[in-house]
Amino acid sequence: QVQLVESGGGMVQAGGSLRLSCAASGRTFSSYAMGWFRQAPGKEREFVAAISRSGGSTSYAVPVKGRFTISKDNAKNTAYLQMNSLKPEDTAVYYCAAVVGSIGYYIQKSSYSYWGQGTQVTVSS
């Protein structure tokens, strides 16, 4: 079992930056592949970024590629999502997710076993 707690959300103007953190409980964080998803009002939860358990492989959704960076610090049991050049359309609740992984990353919601409670990101124009 692992518990995930997101932090770092908030309100920012367009063009600004935020860094989300996802702190995980447990002693086997290095075994987990991680992902970030987001859900805007009235929309389905969508994939944002994913990282392999080692941190060596990553994947990004097209709308955030080149602006967002996912990372993972196994020593600190924490995953991050650095978000730069934010746009109003990035406004959503952001969720981190974890799954015991083999090799590679996972982009499907259904692949993940554990979810955080979400953190709100609001980007004003």
pLDDT tens by residue, the chain, 125 residues: 889 999 999 999 999 999 999 999 977 899 999 999 999 999 999 999 999 999 999 999 999 999 999 999 999 999 999 999 999 999 999 999 999 977 889 999 999 999 999 999 999 99
- What's the Cα-to-Cα distance from 125 to each of 67, 85, 91, 93, rounded to whole Å? 17, 12, 11, 18
Q: How far apart are CA 22 and CA 5, in angstroms?
A: 5
* DSSP 8-state secondary structure symbol assigned to residue 82: E
**Residues 109 and 37 sit within 8 Å (Cβ to Cβ):** yes
Nearest to 50 by CA among 39, 37, 31: 37
